[in-house]
Amino acid sequence: MAALIAENFRFLSLFFKSKDVMIFNGLVALGTVGSEELFSVVAFNCPCSPARNYIYGLAAIGVPALALFLIGVIWNNHTWNLVAECHKRGIKNFSAAATFLLFGSIMGRAAVAPVTWSVISLLRGEAYICALSEFVRPSSLDKFPAEYGADVLARFPCKDVPANLTKFRDEVTRRLRYESQLFGWLLIGIVAVLVFLTKCLKHCCSPLSYRQEAYWAQYRSNEDKLFRRTAEVHSRILAAKNVKQFFGFVALDKEEKELVQEFPVEGVQPSPQWNAITGVYIYRENKGFPLYSRLHKWAKGVEGNGPSPEAHEMLFLAS
């Protein structure tokens, strides 16, 4: 148990440090596997009761998957960029292809954890066996006693059955586990094919060369890192100035005093500037020169969000 908990804490630590999409998705899948194992150990307990097994089994697979999907949507930056875009400018400037790419990016990233949860649940088989044991037809079992029905079959996952039904319980469990694992492997195959086709389509439709796309990814990562770091320092210095104005002094440690002296902050950025650098961004070029982000576009003084002779929309989203 302690090892599982430690594994999940290590996953969370790496999760927030990861910048690469493939590493990010891998860590999400790894954390989901650990969480599913932990859930199976401490939480899953089939009721072994007719009508309840089916609901409980499906809920054990579906509800955590739904929760993980919603968490994935919430944690995706594209989600809130889309919300800001719709609130400030609407999406009328985006073509159908660009909108599809945006939603596909959000849904695809958010689906990693729930798909992993569903696959692991199916490969383990406990939830599937719990949900469907009562629906096994007694006539499909050779020499199954006629006096027993669905109520006894529903107790098979708990092994709480008469001694003369032990061999039937083993057969039902083996049959249902086979079906569950088969669906799990099929789901893995389907997802693998979809990921492969998506990657091929993305690279085929990309207007960028491989090296320029790699540079764009590096630029986005560096811009985000520097922006967050600078925003943290700027907000701290501004807060220090306002606190000093209220109290007449401000209690700063040595590092904060050096920051205040090194980076004088005169004011705050007006709302139009924040709005200009916030929202969905699709790769564009201006007079043949790339614009890698909304901040880059704002710094170059390029106005407008829609395609024009000078600002060409390339219909390519960041990963």
**CA dist., res. 150 & res. 157, Å (int):** 13
Cα 88 from Cα 91, distance rounded (Å) = 9
Type and span of the H or E element at 142: none
List the one residue out of 136, 23, 117 whose CA is nearest residue 62: 117
pLDDT in tens, 235-291: 999 999 999 999 999 999 999 999 889 998 888 899 889 988 887 787 888 888 899
First to last CA, the chain: 36
The whole-angstrom separation of Cα 307 and Cα 316 is: 13
Phi, psi of 270 (to 5 degrees): -70, 160
Cβ pair 99, 91 in contact under 8 A: yes
Distance CA(141)–CA(152), nearest Å, equals: 14
Write down the pLDDT at residue 180. Answer: 95
User: Which SS3 state, helix, strand or coil, does residue 316 take?
Assistant: strand
Query: Residue 285 pairs with which residues in a beta bridge?
Result: 290, 312
Reported as a single tens digit per residue, the pLDDT across 160-188 is 777 788 888 888 889 999 999 999 999 99
Query: Measured between alpha carbons, how far is 198 from 212 in angstroms, rounded to an integer?
Result: 20
289-291 and 282-286 strand pairing: antiparallel
Task: State the chain's mean pLDDT as an integer.
Answer: 80
pLDDT in tens, 77-101: 888 877 777 776 666 666 666 677 7
DSSP letter string, 246-298: HHS-----HHHHHHHHHS-------HHHHHHT-S--EEEEETTEEE-SHHHHH
Confidence at residue 4, expressed as pLDDT on a 0 to 100 scale: 39
Give 15-51 pLDDT, tens digit per residue: 444 445 555 556 666 666 666 666 555 577 888 888 8
